[in-house]
Amino acid sequence: MNDQIFDVSAFAYAHRGLWGGRVPENSLAAFHSARSNGVGAELDVRLSADGVPHVFHDAVLQRMCGIAGALDSFTAKELETVFLPNGFPIPKLEDVLAVMDNLPVLIELKIDAPGEELAERVAGLIEGHPGRMTVMSFDEPTVARLCQLVTDRPVGLLIGPELLLGADAVRQTVARSRAMGCDYLAPHLTSLATVNDAAGGLPLVTWTLRDPADLELARKHAAAPIFEGFSPSLVSGLAKPGGTPI
């Protein structure tokens, strides 16, 4: 198995990078921290007004940057002067990938409206890029498009909480994901057992683990954890060959 096609369930992932204290989520500092601690990272991607992929969770800038407006209303040049709480600008996806080097990255595409070009932009950016990375989204049409565009990286579908969706809907979502050709699934922790039963052996990544006790459920279902709020040293104890400890 080459570095591009890898078992996503063999690694642990820091949610929005390894952040906390003076290190903001989805900042270059958070990804430097993940790399220095030897864990992979999950991140969120949105497009600037001129179509450049940036790493940022929210549709609007207020919570993280203290200013009004949507990220996609600013050009990449303008975003260079929009600062996170640590005084650094919102990073571009290509800069984060360079920081993570060969540690694995889960790239979540944030879709707010049908027909967005985010899938094409991200697929084009990662094509031929060295290192381990995957693409995933909650938006099923986007994931179906990614399955067509991205043939040398794992493509996954995020699945929400079972308490909101219901077990039958979770199983139906898994069936659709398999039909569209997904390489892995990323269920919420509460959907993990149902997804594991229906996944047909697809690798699993589960989110978001904020209590070390949740690691036991992830281990039970052989799912890699996307974690935050506790030390990466606590994800040690069970490792797959070639992966970070989980």
pLDDT at 137: 98
> What is the residue type of 55?
V
Is the pLDDT reported for residue 92 higher than 70?
Answer: yes
Q: What is the DSSP string of the chain?
A: --SSS--GGGS-EEETSS-BTTB-TTSHHHHHHHHHTT-EEEEEEEE-TTS-EEE-SSSBSHHHHS--SBGGGS-HHHHTT-B-TTS-BPPBHHHHHHHHTTS-EEEEE---STT-SHHHHHHHHHTT--S-EEEEES-HHHHHHHHHH-SSS-EEEEE--HHHH-HHHHHHHHHHHHHHT-SEEEEBGGGHHHHHHHSTT--EEEEEE-SGGGHHHHHHTTEEEEE-SS-GGGG-S---TTS---
Q: Tell me the CA distances in angstroms from 148 to 59, 123, 144, one per residue in order.
A: 26, 10, 7
d(CA 150, CA 71): 25
157 backbone φψ class: left, alpha, beta (φ>0; ψ -120 to 50): beta
Q: Is the pLDDT of residue 191 over 50?
A: yes
> What are the chain's domains?
8-235 (3.20.20.190)
* Mean pLDDT across 163-170: 98
**Sorting pLDDT into bands at 50, 70 and 90, what band is 243?**
low
CA atoms within 13 A of residue 154's CA, in its CB half-sphere? 30
Using the predicted structure, report yes or no on whether residue 199 has a pLDDT greater than 50. Answer: yes
Mean pLDDT of 80-104: 97
What is the tens place of the pLDDT at every residue in 206-216? 999 999 999 99
pLDDT at 4: 74
